[in-house]
Structure 1
Amino acid sequence: MTRDWIDMTGYGLGHWAVFAVMIAVLLYPIGRILSRIGLSPLWSVLAVIPVVNLIGLWVLAFADWPGRGGAAGRQKGA
């Protein structure tokens, strides 16, 4: 009988390194987008929390963006 299952019981350093790179690749552009629309880039941390990221996306889609001047700014520019 082999002991291959023992090697799969936990996450090694390589797994955590790949996870950290994936998070950085995800959070950096989201933070840049949020800062361009006038929000804090720290809100991008919500993108890695399941279900919260979907709620945040919907809230962001229908919210007045501070960098755009809100509803009043859209009416003046139109």
Structure 2
Amino acid sequence: MGSFSIWHWFIFMLTLAVPALLFSRIATKAGYPGWWALLGLVPVVNVVALWVFAYSDWPKQPKR
């Protein structure tokens, strides 16, 4: 059971980076800055950020 190897850290960083990258691309297409993806990594803030993202008016979406 010793310490973690470099592969464990690599997989850990991939599990953080891939969803953050995808959320960043979705946020920029919606008109929000890409740093909103960092809010997805903070445990309680991610729920609030997702709520705001889902129910607010998107800047790039035309008004109806």
Q: Per the shorter chain, which TM-score range?
A: 0.7 to 0.9
2:22 is aligned to: 29
The count of residues paired between Structure 1 and Structure 2 equals 64
| Partner SS state of residue 32, structure 2 | coil
User: 2:37 pairs with 20, 37, 44, which one?
Assistant: 44
Structure number with the higher helix fraction is: 1
The unaligned stretches of length 5 or more in structure 2 are none
Matched, 1:64 2:62: no
| TM score, norm. by length of structure 1 | 0.71
Higher RCO structure, 1 or 2 (CA under 8 Å, sep 6+): 2
Q: Offset of 1:17 from its aligned partner? A: 1.0
How high is the sequence identity, in percent, across the aligned residues? Answer: 34
Q: Which has the larger radius of gyration?
A: 1
Please tell me the root mean square deviation across aligned C-alpha atoms, in Å. Answer: 1.5
Cα distance in 1 for partners of 2:32, 2:26 equals 9
Q: Offset of 1:11 from its aligned partner? A: 3.9
Deviating 4+ runs (over 2 angstroms): 10-15
The unaligned stretches of length 5 or more in structure 1 are none
